A and B are shown apart, each in its own frame.
Chain A
Amino acid sequence: MSHYPRYRQFYPKLYRKRMPIFWWVHKRAHIHFIARELTSVFVALFAVELVLLVRALSEGPAAYAAFLDWLASPLALVLHALAFAMLIFHSVTWFNLAPKALVMRVGKTRVPAWAVAGANYAAWVVVSAVLAWIIL
C-alpha cells in the first residue's frame, strides 16, 4: 500500500487564563508588595524636589526665598507628612528584606538575618544623625 497516514502532532486545546489588572487585591501579601513598590514614587518625588531646590538656589536669592515659601505652605506640609510616612514604610520593608540578598560568613558561621538588617538600621540612624547635625 502506498498510503502513508499523515503524522498529526499532539495538539491539545489548552485553556489559558489571563491575569486580571487587579490580580493583587485578593491577598494580603500581594497588597503589601504593591504598597512597597508604589511608595518608590514618593522616593522619586523627593529626588525631584531636591533638583528643584538646587535650581532655585542657582537662580538667585529671590527664587530661593519663593521656593522656601512654597515649602512652608500648608499644602506642602501635608504632602511632606504623607511622603515621609511612605518613605518610612519603603525603608523599613526594604531593610527587612536585605538579609535575603546578603549572605555573609564570619569564619564558618553565617551572619544571622537580624544582624544584617540591624546593620542597615544602624547605618540609617548614623546617616540621619550626621545630616541632622549638619542642618540643625
Chain B
Amino acid sequence: MEKIALEVFRYRPEEEQTPTFQTYEVPLHKDWVILDALNYVKDELDGTLSFRHSCRMGVCGSCGMMVNGDAVLSCAAFLTDYRPGPIRVEPLANFPVLRDLVIEMNDFMAKLNRVMPWVVREQEKPVEEGEYLQTPEELMDYKPYAMCINCMLCYAACPVYGLEPEFIGPAAIALAQRYNLDNRDEGNAARMEILSTDEGVWQCTLVGECSTVCPKAVDPAGAIQRYKVASTTAWWKSKLLPWSR
C-alpha cells in the first residue's frame, strides 16, 4: 500500500510554549480525504491529536484547516491531489489556536451576532394576515449569500483580517447582505451603523481570496464591494436629500 506523509501542526499548551510539527505516515487510499487520514492517525497512530469535524460532507463547516497553506474543508480535500506529499496540515490561519488543529472562534461568533443575521421587522404583522410572500426572483437576490456554512475559511484566507483583527470580516458581511437583500427584512438602517464603518466594509482592500476559498461559492468579496456602493450611495443621499429617509 502506497503511503503519504502528513506533517501535522501540534500545540499542547500544557506541555509546550511553541508549536511543533509531527509527521505521520498514512495509507494513500484514492477515496480518502485529509479528514479520513486525520481520523486514521487518531484511531491507529496517536490518540492525542485534536481536531474538529462532524458531517464529513461539506455541510457543517467544522473541519476547516490550512492544507499546504490553503484554507480548505479537510473533508473535501483528497489525499491523491497532494501526491507525493508531504502534506502540511495546520489550524485555520488568523485565529488563536486552542490545541493542535482546534482554533478559538469567539471573535467570529461575536461579529456574526453584531450584524443581526436574522429577519428584522419594524412591526411584525399579525398571524391572521398570513405569511410574508416572496417571488422566486426575490429569493434569488439573496440566495447565494444564504449558502454560507460559517466554516471561516474566508477569515483564514483574508490578510486584512490577519492584520486588522477588528475587521468584521467576509462571512459576517456576506450574511448581513443576505438579510439586507431579503425583501421581508427591514434591518438595513440598523446594520448600516455596523457595516458602513472603517471596521465594517471599508477596511476591505479587495484581495478577493475569501471568494476563492469559499466552498459554497458565496462570493463574500462581491457582497462587500456591493455594500461599499450601497454605503456610498446612502451617504450622498443623506447629504444631498437630508429630508428623505
Chains A and B are bound partners: yes
Binding site for B on A (CB under 8 A): 12-17, 19, 23-24, 26-27, 29-30, 33, 37, 97, 100-103, 108
Comparing B23-31, B43-51, B206-214, the segment that makes contact with chain A is B206-214
Determine which of B18, B219, B229 lies in contact with A102 in the assembled complex, contact meaning CB atoms within 8 Å: B229
Tell me if B86 is interfacial: C-beta within 8 Å of chain A. Answer: no
Q: In the complex the two chains form, is A12's CB within 8 Å of B98's CB?
A: yes
- Within 8 Å of chain A (Cβ to Cβ): is B222? yes
Kindly state the separation between the CA atoms of A100 and B201 in the bound complex, as whole angstroms.
14
CB of A19 within 8 A of CB of B159, answer yes
B137: Cβ under 8 A from any A Cβ: yes
> Judging by beta carbons under 8 Å apart, are A29 and B212 in contact?
yes
B150 at the interface (CB under 8 A from A): no
Contact across chains for B13 and A15 when beta carbons are under 8 A apart? yes
Report A-chain residues with C-beta under 8 Å of the C-beta of B96.
14-16
What 1/0 mask marks residues of chain B from 188 to 212 whose CB sits below 8 Å from any chain A CB? Answer: 0000000000000000011111001
Contact A29 B207 (CB under 8 A): yes
Which one of B104, B137, B222 lies within 8 Å of A12 (CB-CB)? B104
Contacting residues, chain A, for B13 (C-beta < 8 A):
12-15
Residues of chain B with a CB closer than 8 A to A37's CB: 205
The residue of chain B having its C-beta at the shortest distance from the C-beta of A107 within the complex is: B137
Chain A residues near B228: list those with CB within 8 A. 101
Which residue of the partner chain, among A12, A19, A26, A102, contacts B162 with CB atoms under 8 Å?
A: A19
Contact (Cβ within 8 A) B11 A100: no
B77 at the binding interface (Cβ < 8 Å): no
Tell me, in angstroms, the Cα distance from A33 to B14 when the chains sit together: 40
Assess whether B209 is in contact with A29, with CB atoms less than 8 Å apart. yes
8 residue pairs bridging A and B, Cβ less than 8 Å apart: A14-B97, A15-B13, A29-B207, A97-B225, A100-B219, A101-B226, A101-B229, A108-B137
List, in ascending order, chain B residues with CB within 8 A of A108's CB. 137
In the bound complex, do residue A27 and residue B206 qualify as a contact, i.e. CB atoms below 8 Å apart? no
Known: A29-B212, A33-B207, A103-B226. A23 touches B159 (CB 8 A): yes
A30: B residues at CB distance < 8 A = 159, 207, 209
Query: Do B207 and A100 touch across chains, with their CB atoms under 8 A apart?
Result: no
Contact (A100, B225) CB under 8 Å given A14-B104, A16-B96: yes
B85–chain A nearest beta-carbon distance, Å: 19
**How far is B19's CA from A95's CA once the two chains are assembled, in angstroms?**
43
The distance from the CB of B236 to the nearest CB of chain A, in whole angstroms, is 16
Considering only residues 44-100 of chain B, those with a C-beta below 8 Å from chain A are 69, 93-94, 96-99
Q: How far is the CB of B76 from chain A (nearest CB, A)?
A: 20
State whether B69 touches A100 (Cβ < 8 A).
no
